[in-house]
Structure 1
């Protein structure tokens, strides 16, 4: 059996070396019921998807090691979660480059499929042009069999043409999505929500790290207490009175520390990106920008602010009022609902706000709209 090595580091991810075609490792590592690995021709080895720039997935590695060992292979596992990997900015630039390559590849693939389908469809129309429109099959005539065969052939060919054109539309949509990958990912509202999520993730990691370190320290203290209890001679009691040796970090602490460093790096990258957008004129709205009675622009419609919250604005329920008018006031919303009953409200987060207008400015705008409607 083969000598197999499973390695992991932040730069390369999880790789499996030493396998060969026909040695039975393919069914264990990949495929249905496998350990989730895939084979890369460019790497020449098996790899675990989405394992680069991340700490090791211990369960998948241990499961692969167990199955390979049971199959008779000699397995060596080398995991390095402590060495630093790439900067987040470098990985992000690589992802954007891959998106551009995908857009080009998908666009060419969609164009080929669409052209093939359209060309086949035109040829079929030309081949059928000699048959008058609405010409029935002459049952019993010597041309009946030829006519039926020709129509069946054209039906199958039209099906292939439609399939190719649909495939072209599919790949064109994929190309469009790949072209907009960077735009959507670096969008200001999306980035603000991502920063909020990363900050919460950092707080969670810090709590988890503190708990893990306290647990390791308690276990070390318990072990030293057992040694002190077993000390019977004076020289040994003197030995155990020495300053305690620092508790070495366990694998879990190492993995969590690395995860924290990566999360902090990603957070710093996106915070810097927001500062760049601000320098270019983008506005990040917050509770200090609004007051009760102001108006906030949300997805093309203005809403009167009922209450300013730390993370959201309370406005009238967006499904009330006249949708043909771009402004929803509290008065209009109350009239549209049921007088005397509590007005239903919505809460819009600040990252989903596109503009602000004071009550005075909105009054002038409403007067202008009213004058235009009367003149129209």
Structure 2
């Protein structure tokens, strides 16, 4: 039986030392997340670095090893850490190593593909004029072997070509790792999540996690600051005014609202994708404007409303350079100031207030197969109106309301009663608790010579 030690530090991760090939340790711990690290010559848990110990896995692995007769010692030190900058630098270095390794794989596969295809092509030159296989002729055997040789090399050559493309794609991805990680827009989104995690751990009082998160946040904030110093434009609420146009996912969208963290842009799925989507394009029947909320990190350019109108009058769609020049000419701050001044000087229309004496809704309550129903007049707060007493509606002789409030004859009687009182339905019936249903009402238009409902109240 083996004597092994399971150690964990955030700096090195979770490792198992003391095991040798064939001692049966790996067969036990492999079911608990341990894998072989050939570069270290040890067993360990993948992706366990820069984290606290996964005690659930470690303790289960320890119990399983002891049950199998092995001697196990566990050593955990969650305070032995490396800095986040060191960890990030190592990740970038390993990505570079992967890129070189995958490039070699791609080159080998490409050479193999070329060699096999060339061999197949060279052998096929014997049949370039379409010589068929002569069945029964002394050349039949060789011709069939050549056909199989050509087929085999063609298939393997194509497969090697696909494999070369696969490794080339992975090499390009690994080579762009640092660029991907340090992308300022992506970094800003990452910072939002990290700050939320930090607030959570501050509430929990987890000092170790708070320390790690503050260090990581400081690292990424430095990345964003460097991007700004290098001239990268990071958009924010100060850069936009309602009515401006913003490039989102390759199209211009007019801004409906400017929010602290997002933009509400014009959106109409029926017209998407469209080069320029205005608020007019996103206005549906009834005046409702369709909008979509996007993060500022998804914005790539800004164009003021006046400039966009001029471009569209000429039948043009501005590029980012022309839009940038127009944006500098019409700063968002000046536009917001003009909009605030125009709103301040606009004549104020008196707010229309409804008469509290007039009921705003009616409630009809009726049980299944009942012969009577109760109609209650409600005010704006959906409470019984004090100036209107409930009314009883009686079914015609010999009939009942078999479908409760959904009975056709009951709804007909309700409509007649409302018309008699000078009201009309303005919305759909909505069920309430029990056997009741409610609908909004408005004063019916008065006919010529008849007083309005407000005058009768």
Tell whether the structures are fold-level matches, with TM greater than 0.5. Answer: yes
Query: Residue 287 of structure 1 aligns with which residue?
Result: 237
Which structure has the highest helix share of the two? 1
SS in 2 for 1:271: helix
Query: Residue 360 of structure 1 aligns with which residue?
Result: 306
How far residue 319 of structure 1 moved from its aligned partner, in angstroms, is 3.8
Which structure has the highest strand share of the two? 2
Is 1:27 aligned to 2:27, yes or no? yes
Q: 1:371 to 1:168 in 2, by over 3 A?
A: closer
SS in 1 for 2:125: coil
Q: Distance in 2 between matches of 1:205 and 1:322?
A: 42
Q: Distance in 2 between matches of 1:200 and 1:359?
A: 35
Query: Residue 15 of structure 1 aligns with which residue?
Result: 15
Q: 1:323 to 1:68 in 2, by over 3 A?
A: closer
2:6–2:72 contact (8 Å) kept in structure 1? yes
Query: Residue 410 of structure 2 aligns with which residue?
Result: none
Q: 1:370 to 1:109 in 2, by over 3 A?
A: closer
The structure 2 residue matched to 1:160, chosen from 153, 156, 160, is 156
Q: What do the CA deviations read for 1:173-196 (whole angstroms, capped 9, x no partner)?
A: 000111111111111111011000
Is 1:258 aligned to 2:255, yes or no? no
SS in 1 for 2:293: strand
SS in 2 for 1:331: coil
Q: What do the CA deviations read for 1:23-68 (whole angstroms, capped 9, x no partner)?
A: 10011122xxx22112223322112111111111111111110111
Comparing both chains, which one has the higher relative contact order based on Cα–Cα distances under 8 Å and sequence gaps of 6 or more? Answer: 1
Q: Distance in 1 between matches of 2:51 and 2:199?
A: 19
Q: Distance in 2 between matches of 1:158 and 1:197?
A: 51
Is 1:105 aligned to 2:101, yes or no? yes
Q: Which runs of 5+ in 1 are unaligned?
A: 210-255
Aligned residues: CA RMSD: 2.0
How far residue 371 of structure 1 moved from its aligned partner, in angstroms, is 11
2:276–2:317 contact (8 Å) kept in structure 1? no
Q: 1:170 to 1:308 in 2, by over 3 A?
A: same
Matched ranges for 1:203-222 at <5 A: 203-209=199-205
2:267–2:277 contact (8 Å) kept in structure 1? no
Aligned length: 318
Q: What do the CA deviations read for 1:196-216 (whole angstroms, capped 9, x no partner)?
A: 01011111222233xxxxxxx
Q: Distance in 1 between matches of 2:151 and 2:271?
A: 52
Q: Structure 2 length as normaliser, TM-score?
A: 0.66
Q: Which runs of 5+ in 2 are unaligned?
A: 319-457
